Amino acid sequence: MINKTKIHFYGRYNLADLSSVFNILKDINEYETTYDFYKDRKSFPYYSLPDSVNFILSENNGPDYCRGKNIDISHGYGPVVGFSKDKNSCNNLINNFFSICVYGKFQKDILLDIGYPEEKIIIFGMPYSIDLLKKTDVDDRNKFLLSKGLNPENKTLLYAPTWNQWFPNNITEKVLFKFFNIKETTRHFFELWWQDGKEYIRVEKLCKFCMENGINFIVRMHERQRYDKDWLEVYSNIFDKYNVTRHYMDDDINSLQYLKYSDVLLGDISTINTYYYVMNKPVVHLNRGKPFNHKLKTIISSMDIKDRPGYIVDDFEEMLEAIKDSFQHPDRFEKQRTLTVKKYIDFTGDECIDVIKKEFKRIFQLK
């Protein structure tokens, strides 16, 4: 009888790379795998797991006190968002994570620079790209768009900003002021253009622009906004008027179809940009500059702005022109997208499979 290694997968709000690793390891005979999805850490049964669990695999700062050895499936370009790059970083990482998985050598070098043990680093590429790069079935695409009330004959724009500065109501102004140096919660459709009070006008102008140019428009808010989506419904009359589809994580946790069946991404610094680079699809970047958490001096998950292939816009009208050109000339930044993927991600698609099998087998044998 085989003495199986017992692995518990802990999925919080993002299922991308974590679920891809699960789908590979669950079919290997010497592993016994379980998977649980929780909307937040508070709901995770820290002490209810059996003592026999050998490893916990979680995405981005999973539970710190679970039984078993905690392996972090890093989310984004930089490993372990939330750990300061100071003298305590290495101790924090070693105490919280038995091993850390990253996209490529770029992130590995960051960990080595702060003293994380090399033998505990797994370079596994982007596991989620296994699904992203599967050939798109035209009939499936058409059925999906029709199910969302969209025209399959049209091209599709997906707006997917990051969550920075959109905070749930249970975070107090005192905490916000202390850690982020702001005095009130902010929830805006456009992080760049709201101070002049004309954000509502711009939202309608973008929706009208899409309708007039025969573009399907999907608004996909970040997973962390699932607790606080009511504010977005301020624009519901505009969305209904221009047939805009809203994608909320509570309603549809799987974003894969939204990514595969849309043609251009309007984003800023979110990891979702990377998925489009890997699929070699155009991205129009709203220039947020440095990520909001730069004041915490964290190892951030965002790449340098110069490495973001595609239009980087500061002006609203410039954004509309960039969207139009991205649909008309989707190959304009094709070479740059390829170079960016090569710099940040060592493996994509099916080449991740053998790497994951080999590297996790190695890690599971470490003491």
Model pLDDT, residue 35: 83
pLDDT confidence tier of residue 66, bands split at 50, 70 and 90 = low
Mean pLDDT, range 274-294, rounded to an integer: 78
Side by side, the strands of the sheet bearing 69-73 are 31-37, 5-11, 55-59, 69-73, 99-102, 121-123
Q: Classify the phi-psi angles of 284: left when phi > 0, otherwise alpha if psi is within -120 to 50, otherwise beta.
A: beta
In angstroms, the CA 296 to CA 80 distance is 14
For the chain, list the domains and their CATH numbers.
Answer: 5-129+348-364 (3.40.50.2000), 134-344 (3.40.50.12580)
- Between 33-47, 96-110, 117-131, 301-315, the lowest mean confidence (pLDDT) is in 33-47
Model pLDDT, residue 218: 93
Structure tokens at 305: 């702005």
- C-beta of residue 267 within 8 angstroms of C-beta of residue 161: yes
Model pLDDT, residue 15: 62
pLDDT confidence tier of residue 16, bands split at 50, 70 and 90 = confident
Mean pLDDT, range 281-288, rounded to an integer: 90
Render pLDDT for 149-179 as a digit per residue (tens, 0 to 9): 999 999 999 998 775 544 444 444 444 444 4
pLDDT confidence tier of residue 294, bands split at 50, 70 and 90 = very low
Model pLDDT, residue 225: 55
Stated pTM of the model: 0.84
Model pLDDT, residue 297: 34
In angstroms, the CA 336 to CA 114 distance is 30
Residue 41 has pLDDT above 90, yes or no: no
Side-chain-side CA neighbours of 326 within 13 Å: the count stands at 29
